[in-house]
Amino acid sequence: MESGIIVYKKVVSGAGVDETIQRCLRPYEDRLRTHASREAIEIEEMLERHSESFLPDRFKRKGYNRLRSVFAFPFEFPDEWCYPNLVPADKSFSRRETIMKMVVDGNSALVLSMEEVEELYFHTYHPMEAIRAYWESAVLLKEFVRDFRNHHKNAYEAYSRIGTDLERVYEWYSKDGTKRIKKPEVIIPDWSLEKISFLNAPENYA
C-alpha cells in the first residue's frame, strides 16, 4: 500500500495470532460497552454526536465515526500512558497486553488530540469547548507524519533528562507553528479496516 504508515496498538494477546489480530480490529464501541462505565459511554456518545458539526469541512460526510473506529497511536508509547476511561489511574495497561505494529492507510486514518478527550473525562473545561477542539484538531495521518514534529524523539530519554511528567513529551507542532496536537491518537475508520496489515505477531500468549 503506497500510502501505508506504521502505527502502534496495545491489545490483550489472544490464544493465537489470528485471535489477537481480530481483537485489534474490534471497533472502539465494542470494548467501550464491555468495559467502560455508564458515564464513560455517555461522554463518548456525546463526543460522537458532534463530529459532523466540528470536523474540518474536508472530512465531513465521509463516514468518520469514533465509536466504530479502531484506535492506535502514531508512535511507540510507554506503559504509563493509557486511555483515561478504560484503565484506572493507579495502574498501567492491563496484564498480558502486547504492542502490535500495523500498517494503515494514511489517506483515510485521522490523527486527533486526545488531550481534549481527557478534559471531557476530568471535567477540566466546558464539554462543548473540549468537543469542538477535539474534532477541529483532525488531520490525515499522512499529514501528521509529514508536517508535524515532536521535539522529544525518545520519550524515555526525555523523561529522565528534563525531569518532568509526560505532558511536555507528547506535544506535536506543525512545521509552521500554527497547530498543536497533544497526545495524538489515530482513528482508523471502519470502511478502511480491510487495508490494515500487521508487521508483527505477539510473542506471549495465555
- Tens digits of per-residue pLDDT, 54-111? 999 999 999 999 999 999 999 876 544 544 444 444 444 455 677 889 999 999 999 9
Q: What is the pLDDT of residue 122?
A: 86
Cα separation, 138 vs 184, whole angstroms = 10
pLDDT over 70 at 205, yes or no: no
Q: What percent of the chain has pLDDT over 70?
A: 78
Cα dihedral 39/129/48/112 (nearest 10) = -110
Q: What percent of the chain has pLDDT over 90?
A: 50
Residue spans of the domains in the chain: they are 4-198
SS3 of residue 73 by DSSP: strand
Max mean pLDDT range (40-44, 132-136, 159-163, 196-200): 132-136
127-136 helix and 38-49 helix, angle to the nearest 10 degrees: 60
Write out the DSSP string of 106-156.
TTT-EEEETHHHHHHHHT-S-HHHHHHHHHHT-EEHHHHHHHEE-S-S-HH
Cα separation, 107 vs 109, whole angstroms = 6
Tell me the mean pLDDT in the region 32-42.
87
Q: What is the pLDDT of residue 92?
A: 44
